[in-house]
A = this chain, B = another copy of it.
Amino acid sequence: MLAFEEAWTRALMATGMASERDGEAALKALSGFNVESFRPASDRDGLPVPSLVARLREGLASGAAKAIHTGATSQDVIDTAMVLNGLAVLDRLDRRLQKLVSALIDLERRHGEAPLMARTRMQAALPATASLRLSAWQRLVQAQHDRMPALRDEIARVQIGGAIGLRDLPGANGDEVAKLVAYALGLKLAPVWHTDRSSMVSFGHWLTLLTGALGKIGQDVALMAQQGLDEIDLDGGGGSSAMPHKQNPILAETMIAIARYVAGLQGSLAQAMLHEQERSGAAWSLEWLTLPAMAEATGAALLRAETLVGSIRRIGTPG
């Protein structure tokens, strides 16, 4: 949010809406802002922006105060911040995904030739090798990695609409300001998307596909680890308080649970599309209740997947 406000102030300066002096005072307030000590009045306002702006303007002369946020609206700040945070999340997930794909390639290299009974509809089908299943895992995860550039492209758009989405700034060219802010933040200029929540829902869709892919791997591992099939050996594995001889495939279980959890949340996030009139409070809040939790769960699932794949000692139908 501060990054947005800083880019905004600079754009007001560049377009002559704020004087050099007022702008500099505003930028100083922004850079000196103490996030740690700030308690946003979200309970009062439904979102942190009004109290943030009030605090930023505190003690500033009128001109400098006006060089902050003027012409923008809360949704501009929060949506753009959501995008910036979303992209940062994608960077992290990207790195984890790359490591996971490498680990899966390595796994197939090491164990691909081991004999493994292919199973369809939970029934033994035909003898095959582990490569059949491992390459399917890899393709499935890789496919979600391959979707990342298109997803980034879809979400990396600045949100600048102003009070009612007209992008009309008093005394300035709204498009010019939007262009400058977008450039400063490394985002694309795009039409106002106050009421078009497609990109947020598409973000959730991708998280759903990715956790679904990991859930499939988790499900396969849990099935392979069954005594009677004995198709996989794992290092570690969860202890049991009642049966010390057991090694529960807890990473795999968690990956399954997260996949179902994230999929279900997508069904709720998608309802944010019903964003009424020029800006909705209720539909918008639904995004905050779901999307961050989905992203966090996806990160957790990826960490577990990486550890799980790294813990595989043996794969294949026992001789």
Contact = CB atoms under 8 A, between A and B. Distances in A.
Interface stretch (A85-93, A95-103, A202-210): A202-210
Contacts of A122: 222-223, 225-226, 248-249, 253, 276-277, 280-281
Interface stretch (A18-26, A105-113, A163-171): A163-171
A34 interface: no
Contacts of A69: 241
A13 interface: no
Contacts of A252: 282
Interface string A108-139: 00000000011111111110100011001001
B195 A249 contact: no
A125 B53 contact: no
A163 B243 CA distance: 7
A263 to B, nearest CB: 4
Please tell me the size bucket of the interface on A: 35 or more
A73 B249 CA distance: 17
Nearest to A259: B274
Given A265-B268, A277-B220, A227 B123 contact: yes
Interface in A217-237: 218-220, 222-223, 225-230, 236
A278 interface: yes
Interface stretch (A40-48, A59-67, A172-180): A40-48
Contacts of A136: 165, 192, 194-196, 278
28 contacts: A45-B250, A46-B248, A50-B239, A53-B241, A120-B277, A121-B238, A121-B248, A121-B281, A124-B227, A125-B163, A125-B246, A125-B278, A139-B191, A150-B150, A201-B212, A208-B273, A212-B270, A212-B274, A215-B274, A216-B273, A219-B274, A222-B282, A226-B229, A253-B281, A253-B282, A263-B267, A263-B268, A263-B270
